[in-house]
Structure 1
Amino acid sequence: MQFAGGFFDQHLYFRKTNNSATTPWSRVLLERDNKVGIGTIDPTAALQIGDFATGTNAQKIVMPGVYNIERVALGQDGNGNSSLEFVNHSDANVSYGIKVGTNIDRYGGGLYIATAASTNDYSKLSYRDQPAIFANANDNSVGIGTNATYGYRLAVAGPMIAERIKVKQVTNWPDYVFKKDYQLPSLKEVATFIDKNGHLPGIPSAAEIANDGIEVGDMNARLLQKIEEMTLHLIQQQQVVEKLQRENEAIRQQLQKLSK
């Protein structure tokens, strides 16, 4: 193995001679103006690997691990896509992968975190079609399990669980139901509406929910309005029951007097 430096161009070359003086040299490094280039003759930074607009998969830094196919890899994935990849072992013979990067071809414009299930062969390490997390560069939105946020600040593909959720800025909270001038619909009016429409007044139908979904804060306000209206009806019914009880008691006392 031979290494040599170019006197005029400041390149570093190497070759394996194979007992032949005609074996071609391969360039390793170029140093110019305190900048080092690998695979380039015109480095623009302290260290540059490859030339601009000609990126390939070969332009990566790879640091192998201990078990199976472990590695840390940083560099190009082709077509301007780039990533930082971590491959760690599940046991001594299989490893899983996690990538953080940009991939306009697979996920669109933005930053993704993607995962690949365990395998024993790096060529079989398959990253999922949908990213675990995606930050959209166009509108600064975030997707979990999806790269399609449809204009929402946060989109989640699939079920989610949380120990606590707080919704703020819910307008028109229905305490107005308890105001004296509130027109409480009668139970007869409610029954007529239900017979005609198949759902409570002020509550979206099943078809509307299927098409538009549910806004949690708005729906909670609507449901509270129905609970408050129901409470007022119960109070009215209780007042009627108590009045009837008093009237029945008065009639009972009158009957007792007459029977003496």
Structure 2
Amino acid sequence: MTFNNTDDNWQYVQFKRSGFRKAWFGLYSTSNDFYFAKEDGGKFRFLNADVVLSNGKLGIGTTLPSSPLQVSSNANRTLRLDFTNASNNSTYTWVSLNANSTEQWRVVGRDDDSAKFEIWNKNGDDVFTLSQSGHATIEGDAIIKGNLESKKVKVTASPGSFPDYVFSENYELKTLAEVEAFINKNGHLPNMPTAKEVEVNGQDLGLIQQKLLEKIEELTLYIIELKNQNIAQQKVIDSMLDKMN
């Protein structure tokens, strides 16, 4: 069957009921676009398949789509994206999330040896990466509104920040009298955040661990100093006892 309508730019087939057109399909020759159109309500349905186009919403597996695209299935695999011309280590499968025709996020499945899952921001930066082994990398800060459970937490330290500097000859260790005066005046240990600061800003685990170790090393020095004083005092006591005997 050939349609060659020379009256206008359309070649189409239409379906009428009671003299009114209900649906039609045809070719718009100017743009070479092919149209399917439904008029006066109703839905597009595909026989023996739950595929419906209604009011600009496409439903697959459902006859009542509530979003522009809704896919429903009782199978384990609901949606599959497969790039069949992938070149190892150079291509990827991705889904673009746009607002006002501008890409805001890109969800990426890598086609390389590691087959990583990535999320890119609108600048093309990889802000989240998940490897097949479960190793996750987040570029930037992460806020978890809930509990965090882990078998191990590793906090890196910048050079020179770990408190072995306490044992340096140049370290200015406060006397116990100075520490006591500071506590009486400020209500907390020197070089430690206040309770109010922690309540407002939270704790930097790496920094607080360093500060706690700093205080432990200072305590060790105080204990050593007190031990030496006790030894010296014991020698004086022993000398006095010898003279008395």
> Which residue does 1:148 correspond to in 2?
none
CA contact (8 A) 1:14 1:27 kept: yes
Residue among 53, 57, 60 paired with 2:58: 60
Q: For residues 100-127 of structure 1, give each alpha carbon's deviation from its aligned partner in whole angstroms, at most 9, with x where no partner exists.
A: 99597xxxx6579xxxxxxxxxxxxxxx
SS at match of 2:60: strand
Secondary structure (helix, strand or coil) at the match of 1:154 reads coil
Match of 1:25?
Answer: 22
Distance change >3 Å, CA 233–CA 166, structure 1 → 2? same
What pairs up with 1:63-212 in 2 under 5 angstroms?
63-64=61-62, 76=68, 137=122, 153-171=141-159, 172-212=161-201
Structure 2 Cα separation of the partners of residues 231 and 29 of structure 1: 89
**What TM-score results when the alignment is normalised by the length of structure 1?**
0.50
Query: Structure 1 counterpart of 2:153, which letter?
Result: I
**Number of aligned positions between the proteins:** 179
- Distance, in Å, in 2 between the alignment partners of 1:173 and 1:229 is 13
Matches of 1:23 and 1:241, distance apart in 2:
111
Structure 2 CA distance for partners of 1:165 and 1:14, relative to 1, 3 Å: farther
Q: How far apart in 2 are the matches of 1:251 and 1:29?
A: 119
CA distance in 1 between partners of 2:180 and 2:231 (Å): 25
Task: Give the Cα–Cα distance (whole angstroms) in 1 for the partners of residues 204 and 68 of structure 2.
Answer: 42
Residue 157 (structure 1) shift:
2.1
Task: Give the equivalent residue in structure 1 for 2:225.
Answer: 236
Counterpart-to-counterpart distance in 2, 1:85 and 1:101: 18
Code of the residue aligned with 1:212 in structure 2: it is N
Q: What value does the CA root-mean-square deviation take over the aligned residues?
A: 4.7
Structure 2: where are the runs of 5+ without partners? Answer: 38-53, 76-94, 108-118, 129-138
Residue 227 (1) aligns with residue 216 (2)? yes
- Quote the offset at 1:249 in angstroms: 4.1
% same residue: 26
Shift in Å, 1:180: 1.3
Long gaps (5+) in structure 1: 40-55, 78-83, 90-99, 113-133, 143-150
Please name the residue that 2:90 is paired with: none
